[in-house]
A and B are shown apart, each in its own frame.
Chain A
Amino acid sequence: MNFDDSAEEATFRQTARGWLEANAPKHLRQELEEAPFGRLQLKSVDATQASRAWQMQKYESKWACLHWPVEYGGRGATPIERVIWQQEEGVYGKLSALFGIGHGMCGPTVMAWASEEQKRRLLPKLAAGEENWCQLFSEPSGGSDVAGLRTRAERDGDDWIVNGQKIWTSVAHLADWGLLILRTDPNVPKHAGLTMFFLDMKSPGVEIRPIKQANGQSDFNEVFFTDVRIPDSQRLGAVGQGWKVSLTTLMNERASIGARAVTGFPEMLDFCARIEIDDRPAVQDRAVRSKLATWAARASGLKYTSYRAISALSKGELPGPENSIGKLVSGSMLQEIAMAALDLQGEAGILADPALAEAAGRFQAVLLRSPAVRIEGGTDEILRNIIAERVLGLPADIRADKGMAFNQIPTKAG
């Protein structure tokens, strides 16, 4: 057991560190470190422009999407090199969140399913941040049951005509392309009637509306389609194979290793060392200490779980299934921590104005945003199902709609 780099890894780390030392936008470092939870906002510069500039700079030196093949805009780096890069890029990686869906999910799907010509046309621009992508899967009536989606595509010559609505689409308003799963046949069981496409987001008939969320902010959009035309050449995989294609996307969603899960623990520990209850720092209170210890053990467990995954990558092995626990653990922890931090503040805990609230309102913002963390990218319940079924080998849920044609599936009571 050791935490040391191999000789090759150390060399790679030196190279990455050297380039970052010379090129990283150091003037943004402090702001990035202090950026509040949620969508990146910066005071001194426009966050979107700063993100694009950094992405292009990385691309030009082959540090963008470095694990992608060189011909698609990457540097053909190994999985462990990608992790080392992420560790070294550190806080500047926050600037890449804008491209997270595109690089993490859409890109790998295009890589697996698009034609060679399309890959060479699309992927380098995505790596460079010159074009961005969004993912159009969830619908108002198809969230956890995403295969229950209803947005339909009908064949018309060499085109498909799309009508319906998607929801919870991050960065749709900033995206050039959308990865889109559609129902092409409602007369067969739900998983069999789906087809995957990619779409020019500027196509006529595409309307993007921001969603005002429960916390008052807008991180996501609704996207409406009215007689939108997509050329058949922008189909990924066969007609009716969309579910299989979507699994490529979803598997990549859960494969990001080394991306540290946000738990809120370091901030909470600092806060408890600072705030006083009963005339002494909260860290001296037994009840507070007990909670802190439990959160510390969970945060540490996540950290060393990711180190175990990195160890596997370093040996050229695949990480084990334990790597799938990150979001399930960190999501509920973030919410628990926010509630506990407000509790320590007493009645003043209701103050959300950053100018008045403790810790500049950080915990209040987390309180209001955290319910979404337990839902987005797979609800806690779906994640538990995945662990139970794929890791522990328990039976799949019994489905009332199994084998039933999609248009015969009940959608309401009675």
Chain B
Amino acid sequence: MNLDFSEDQKQLKDQARRFFADKSPPAAVRVVLEGQARFDQAVWRGMAELGWLGTAIPEEYGGLGIGHLEQCVIAEELGRSLAAVPVSSSIYLAAELLMAAGSEAQKRRYLPKLASGEKIGTFAYAERAGAVTPRSIETQVTGGVLTGTKTPVPDGGIADFAIVAARAGDGLSLHVVDLAGPGVTRETVTTIDPTRDHATIRFESAPAEPLGAAREGDGIIGEVLNRAAVLTAFEQLGGADRALEMARDYALERFAFGRQIGSFQAIKHMLADMYVAGALARSNAYWAAWALSTNDAELAEAAATARVSATQAFQLCAKNNIQVHGGMGFTWQFDCHLYYRRSNLLALSLGSLSNWEDRLVDSLLNKNAA
């Protein structure tokens, strides 16, 4: 049994940690937070040059084709640094949707540009509050043009094209829409985490190219969300680990009542609980990484488990990190809020925690019924 990354993958992880520490320190993330840039172009270009956007994209479509385990270790380090780049939208979602449902021509047309970072893709799914279901989607396609409003679309303000979910009878269909094309207007929206771009996109008779078979979008989306959930769990894991480290370091350095605050059990036990949550999340994420890389039948269960576990761990670590820092943790100057913001953003991207809890229980019941 080897539920661990290989030596090569661990080396890649070390390399990624150094890359993000160098290229995406908190000061770089704050440039986007403060609205001076929509995303971090230097980090994006750097990742593209290293081939890190295309690790899981096959070589014939311009990627490195080395696999998803490599993508997982890079995701963890990205999450740790909070790098302000559209990797999840463009790679975990758009590229995966294209790989899952695209025709040969579509894969050849889009994937190399996503792998090289020349183009940014995204997935336009949600339209209103509440869990997204086929019934909650009003966007329609008739005669090759798409009409509807999507919000919030991750990286919607910076993406070049979107894969849009539209209502098709009782189900959904997917379409690729050029966001610079006719019939598209977009407006950046303010979110709880401005380090990642989000937009409202209005489509009025925008030219739309079908992706995959009509009405089969729902199943494809479900599968791709599972895959994206595993990669996102690694981002969450990286963020949780960093938040725990920040809290631990501060607890060692800060004195109150004549002693290190880390010597108080109230603080020690809070940190121990953060560690436990992170350890559970890591073990679940490794299982899910295995299922993703082997396309195992357990993927749905493993992805939902990893997602629930990692969401809980990152939220716990990020909120307790502020608590351990006390008043200083609530200042703009300290970086605690960056992790708190990101933890709560990632908890909702790809669907809320309760939505993933539902998916997890469904997969357990399916397994027991089988």
Using CB atoms and an 8 Å cutoff, list the residues of chain A in contact with chain B. 1-5, 269-270, 273, 283, 286, 289-290, 292-294, 296-298, 300-305, 307-308, 310-312, 314-315, 322, 325, 328-329, 381, 383-385, 387-389, 391-398
Contacts and interface: CB of A to CB of B under 8 A. Distances in A.
Interface string B340-370: 0000000000000010111011001100100
A269 B364 contact: yes
Contacts of A328: 276
Interface stretch (B1-9, B20-28, B92-100, B165-173): B1-9
Nearest to B280: A301
Contacts of B268: 384-385, 388-389, 392, 394
Given A304-B283, A387-B275, A395 B260 contact: yes
Main secondary structure of the interface of A (DSSP, over half): helix
Given A325-B280, A392-B275, A393-B252, A1 B3 contact: yes
A1 B276 contact: no
A398 B305 CA distance: 39
A119 B357 CA distance: 53
A402 B122 CA distance: 61
Given A290-B357, A325-B280, A398-B263, A3 B3 contact: yes
A1 B290 contact: yes
A384 B269 contact: yes
Contacts of B309: 297-298, 300-301
A1 B272 contact: no
B121 to A, nearest CB: 28
A394 B289 CA distance: 32
Interface residues of B, number: 49
Contacts of B290: 1-3
A289 B361 contact: yes
A75 B260 CA distance: 49
A398 B279 contact: no
A307 B283 contact: yes
Given A300-B284, A384-B272, A393-B252, 9 more contacts: A289-B358, A290-B357, A296-B364, A315-B2, A322-B283, A325-B275, A388-B262, A389-B268, A392-B268
A2 B2 contact: yes
B357 A294 contact: yes
Interface in B202-225: none
Contacts of A297: 280, 284, 305, 308-309, 312, 360
A322 B279 CA distance: 6
A307 to B, nearest CB: 5
Contacts of A393: 248, 252
Interface centre among B3, B260, B263, B293 (most CB of A within 10 A): B3
A387 B364 contact: no
Interface string B274-301: 0110011111101101100100000000
B251 interface: yes
Given A298-B280, A304-B286, A311 B2 contact: yes
A392 B276 contact: no
A181 B289 CA distance: 47
B259 interface: yes
A311 B280 contact: no
B271 interface: yes
Nearest to B354: A290
23 contacts: A1-B286, A1-B289, A283-B361, A290-B354, A293-B358, A300-B305, A301-B280, A301-B281, A303-B283, A304-B287, A308-B4, A310-B1, A311-B2, A314-B1, A384-B268, A384-B273, A385-B268, A388-B272, A391-B275, A392-B244, A392-B271, A395-B263, A397-B265
B69 interface: yes
Given A384-B269, A385-B265, A394-B268, A2 B251 contact: no
Interface in B288-342: 289-290, 293, 304-305, 308-309, 312
A393 B265 CA distance: 13
A269 B360 CA distance: 12
A305 B265 CA distance: 26
A329 B354 CA distance: 22
Contacts of A388: 262, 268-269, 271-272, 275
Interface centre among B244, B259, B271 (most CB of A within 10 A): B271
A314 B305 CA distance: 25
Contacts of B281: 301
A293 B304 CA distance: 9
A298 B310 CA distance: 11
Interface string B1-41: 11111100000000000000000000000000000000000
Contacts of A301: 279-281, 283-284, 309
Contacts of B312: 294, 297
A328 B49 CA distance: 45
Nearest to B369: A273
A322 B276 CA distance: 8
Contact of B248 (A300, A383, A394, A397): A394
Contacts of A310: 1, 3
B4 A1 contact: yes
A300 B283 CA distance: 8
